[in-house]
Amino acid sequence: MNISSKIFDISIINNVIIHEKTTSTNTLAKDYIMKGCVDGTLILAKEQTAGRGRMERSFSSPSGDGIYMSLVVKPDISPELVSQITLPIALSIVDAIGEIYNIPAKIKWPNDVLINSKKVSGILTEYKNGHVIIGVGINVNNKELPGELTSTATSLYLESGISHELYTLIESIFKYFDGYYKSFLSDNNLSSIQEAYNNCLISYGKEVYIIPHSRTVGSINPMLISTEDLSPYLCKGISSTGDLICIDSEGTAHSINSGEVSIRGLHGYAQ
């Protein structure tokens, strides 16, 4: 994996560490935090043997085909705000895909990026010892995906027919994230990206099921989770704190926290 020196023109990036193979870049990031890594350390791996996603789901991470990375930052914010950082990095991925591939990607709240309703990227944000670890996995040059993922996942190559150097996408992502992150720290909320995020939100203005966390534990395929006894809600986008605002059948608004639930569209994985 080649990384251009231009990555250091982005103020949020202060150190880059590249590994041939690791279990998970987020796990590796925790080790570097304990060793005293600097704010703005970007950890990259060519292959992950135990890539992780939200709710402990695995993330397929074959060698050379995807981006597997974790950025370690040390923001001066309360721990309750940490989960909000997932949203600006998701928007940054959407912006970068649009810039390089000219593909209109969408966001499945809170941590997936989709193309044509299929997952192309996942995000896992974690907190350790005052540091925030922003883990990102992106299917880039994958010419095929494991059979069980073909109905819900895709890659940038499969959608565009074009292969790209991974570092160009990495640099573009952090170019956008640098600005969004600074605004977030200045405002202590997501008001600066709220409109842009909602414009990219695949469920915005649509009916969705709100699936309790207890039902999602241990589920490999979110499509296999039963919604038979659940009532639909109308999605009205995110609040300035990153919660999803949903309206029930009686017109009552509910503020949904990402740690509590999973969202699924009425007509499939995303819509």
> Are 251 and 234 contacting, i.e. CB atoms less than 8 angstroms apart?
no
What is the reported pLDDT for 51? 54
Give this prediction's pTM: 0.90
**pLDDT at residue 59, rounded to an integer:** 52
State pLDDT tens for residues 70-81: 999 999 999 999
The pLDDT mean for the chain works out to 88
In whole angstroms, give the CA distance from residue 234 to residue 118: 21
- Per-residue pLDDT averaged across 192-197, rounded? 98
Task: Kindly tell me if the per-residue pLDDT of 220 is higher than 70.
Answer: no
CB atoms within 10 A of CB 230: 16
Sheet containing 66-73: which strands, arranged edge to edge? 15-19, 41-45, 66-73, 131-139, 118-128, 112-115, 106-108
Residues whose CB is less than 8 angstroms from the CB of residue 221 and which lie 6 or more positions away in sequence, other chains included:
148, 152
- What's the pLDDT at 55? 44
| Residue 170 pLDDT exceeds 50 | yes
Render pLDDT for 14-40 as a digit per residue (tens, 0 to 9): 999 999 888 899 999 999 999 999 999
